[in-house]
Chains A and B, each alone.
Chain A
């Protein structure tokens, strides 16, 4: 099953809407609560990234009985140095974004920590695509 959510650029009051909606679906599908938590935390981080850095994007969430596959696709500046961006504490967030409590540079780290598989594709000046996979069945 596929669920798609649009993510608006710059609207922090709506950051979290996609995660909340998808969370409700996972609960209805009887996914283990602790697994839901990992999925939702990853999705939320990805959502905030798009709101903060990109010119908008979307989350495409595919669910089957084996796993959840989330693609976060944005149109935006892209990440010049992915390795650097993955380091804890690294952030390109503006002062304004940091003041709002976002942009501590833990986002990608946190996704990696919660996901079973995590991929980043990015092209400077075009956009970024994150792929987050969380297994529903214990390996």
Chain B
């Protein structure tokens, strides 16, 4: 098993979790179980897609961010703000007001994440041309998708395009630009305003990179609330800050569905929402679909506009981003823009090959895996196949595997319990204890206050 520790931004608060199993049932990689009345996460299977976060009815699942006060530890406080951040606000709030409010909240500089996009868009075309053997090329944009490919479609890791996503390019650029102005690198704190959990995980334990250029991560909803509050309460006569407009049409729309795919020549497909992606990758892995050049795959419905940390409706965010007026190429001068760093950035745009870390295997040793598979299929034959989840595993198949792996007991199945009570192999008391060990004491009537 891969010994490297994988950081997960998604955390479950035991104090709040009511063990309702909503998260367990929506997890696309079957990474959650319920034990002792609480949801538990199998860290190696989790891809940080955020489906559990959306499904939790009591907000027990949270996304671990850096303390906002941490920005104050740096003299130069950079906010790396994704385009979707702007799309969340009502139409009557201008982009200039948003910029002003971000700075008023303590940042000294703002860089839109997508300023690196035009450079990348061009490089993707070159990369596709130079690697015809890797078809279909899978975009490296969405970190949840990269992790999904690693754990569920290990044979396809070779198809992942080895280019930095816009975030890393822009982080590299802003650090370089500021240090070139004579600023001490130790005084620069680069904070990414994240729309999702997967980006945090990618920053804290990068895949294909040795280290990350990003100092810390602030959840998008946190900054949204601060900015919105400032704009609502701002009675000051402070001038509104008018930023240098930098984003092209391609850049504004890059993180939306089709944002990348439309720029890659040949036959390119854009697929969003993690279950849709899984369905499609199954077919790609079987070689059922040939002749595709490029796949833009995003874990969230409506791509980053549907990020779990966004506050506004994803369709409205996507529509606003499409309506923003871009700057034309002529308006961006080479001086004072990312263009003057093109060579520097292109030399560093590559990432390391991405290795598979399949979490489907029952055992490292094949003979042992066969023995476990045998056990699992024997168990499955005894199970009711109704996928009720009362055993604390997401479905009967997963439960059978859990038993074979020694992580569950067949008597956790309520159908097995009934049968064994009938034959006298299990007393009603033992049966109740079994259920309590899964769902906790509180859920049983006799104990309910």
Which residues does A use to contact B, with CB under 8 Å? 1, 16, 19-20, 23-25, 27-31, 33-34, 36-37, 40-41, 44, 63, 65, 136
Contact = CB atoms under 8 A, between A and B. Distances in A.
B285 A1 contact: no
B327 interface: no
Interface in B258-309: 282-283, 285-288
B286 A30 contact: no
A28 B369 contact: yes
Contacts of A34: 155
Contacts of A24: 360
Contacts of B363: 30
B261 to A, nearest CB: 21
Nearest to A45: B287
Contacts of B361: 27-30
28 contacts: A1-B373, A1-B374, A16-B283, A19-B286, A20-B282, A20-B286, A23-B285, A27-B360, A28-B360, A28-B361, A28-B373, A28-B401, A29-B366, A30-B363, A30-B365, A33-B155, A33-B157, A33-B356, A33-B358, A36-B155, A37-B155, A37-B285, A40-B285, A41-B286, A44-B286, A44-B287, A65-B366, A65-B367
B286 A40 contact: yes
B362 A29 contact: yes
A1 to B, nearest CB: 6
Contacts of B157: 33
Given A29-B373, A30-B366, A41 B287 contact: yes
A31 B154 contact: no
Residue in B282, B287, B364, B365 with the greatest tally of chain A CB atoms within 10 Å: B287
Interface centre among B288, B362, B365, B369 (most CB of A within 10 A): B288
Given A28-B361, A41-B287, A44-B287, A63 B370 contact: yes
A16 B289 CA distance: 11
Nearest to A1: B370
Contacts of B283: 16
A28 B155 contact: no
**Listed residue (A16, A25, A29) with the most chain B CB atoms within 10 angstroms of its CB:** A29
Given A1-B374, A36-B155, A31 B287 contact: no
Interface residues of B, number: 24
A21 to B, nearest CB: 11
A29 B369 contact: yes
> At the interface, is chain A mostly helix, strand, loop or mixed?
helix
Interface in B410-434: none
Contacts of B285: 23, 37, 40
Most buried by B among A20, A23, A27, A44: A27
A65 B373 CA distance: 13
Contacts of B373: 1, 25, 28-29
B208 to A, nearest CB: 17
A30 B154 CA distance: 11
B357 to A, nearest CB: 11
A28 B400 CA distance: 13
A23 B361 CA distance: 12
Nearest to A44: B286
A78 B259 CA distance: 49
Given A1-B374, A44-B287, A30 B155 contact: no
Nearest to A25: B373
Contacts of A1: 370, 373-374
A30 B364 contact: yes
Given A1-B373, A41-B287, A65-B366, A30 B358 contact: yes
A136 B367 CA distance: 12
Interface in B325-370: 356, 358, 360-367, 369-370
A29 B286 contact: no
Interface in B371-403: 373-374, 401
Given A34-B155, A41-B286, 12 more contacts: A1-B370, A19-B286, A20-B286, A25-B373, A29-B366, A30-B361, A30-B364, A30-B365, A33-B155, A37-B285, A40-B285, A40-B287
A44 B360 CA distance: 21
Nearest to B373: A28
A27 B363 CA distance: 10
A25 B376 CA distance: 12
Q: Give the 6 A-B CB pairs with smallest separation, nearest first.
A: A33-B155, A30-B361, A27-B360, A33-B154, A37-B155, A41-B287
Contacts of A27: 154, 358, 360-361
A89 B287 CA distance: 18
Contacts of A65: 366-367, 370
Interface in B135-190: 154-155, 157
A120 B366 CA distance: 29
Contacts of B286: 16, 19-20, 23, 40-41, 44
A24 B398 CA distance: 13
Contacts of A33: 154-155, 157, 356, 358
Given A1-B374, A27-B361, A34-B155, A16 B288 contact: yes
A136 to B, nearest CB: 7
Nearest to A37: B155
A1 B155 CA distance: 23
Nearest to B289: A101
Nearest to A27: B360
A102 to B, nearest CB: 10
A75 B360 CA distance: 35
